[in-house]
Amino acid sequence: MALSGLFILMTQHQLEYPKFYDKLYALLTPAVFMAKHRSVFLQLLDACLKSSYLQAYLVASFAKRLSRLTLSVPPAGALIIIALIHNLLRRHPSINFLVHWEVAQDDGVASLPKKIGADPFNNEETDPAKSGAMRSSLWEIDTLRHHYTPAVSRFVASLETDLTVRAKTMEMKITDFSSGSYATVF
């Protein structure tokens, strides 16, 4: 809850807070999705990552950390994360290379990525600059196409088509997803 006050002080009153994004990055754990005020936190996270002045490595680190969290959070949390990552990809085109696209070979048959099983991203790293996200991909989002909850897999499928037509795609409102639970997913 202190993040709200700190964000207002930084944006409206020019308070300098060193390593703000490092601290925010460290807060992204599965426990956040069980917290009482998770909806407020996730809306503030989305607001903090709106600036077009953020460096690509920082946004890539947040996107990768969030995508890694989709593998360990409840389905309602996965929906929020997918919406957050979608917004990051829309706001920051410089990280679109993270999207895990399969490359077609000369014969027209789709192939697997070149390095199977190697992900240079270090999820345990607390410094976004050292996480290795810029050398990784968002393969976790691709795995969500086969999620056990149909709502999650359908949402990922719809976003894949949305990201191919960037002119028609709007940012998603995190408030629409942030109060989700198992009951709302079903």
Domain boundaries, the chain: 1-99+119-184
Side-chain-side CA neighbours of residue 90 (13 Å): 21
pLDDT in tens, the chain (186 residues): 677 788 888 888 888 888 899 999 999 999 988 888 888 888 899 999 998 889 999 999 999 999 999 999 988 889 999 999 999 998 898 898 888 555 444 444 444 444 556 789 999 999 999 999 999 988 998 889 889 998 899 888 887 776 666 555 677 777 766 555 555 555
From the list 170, 148, 140, the residue with the least C-alpha distance to 158 is: 170
Quote the Cα angle for 132-138-46, to 5°. Answer: 90
Write the CB contacts of 54 (distance below 8 Å, at least 6 apart in sequence).
21, 92
Looking at this protein, which amino acid is placed at residue 153? S
Token pair, residue 82, equals 């997918």
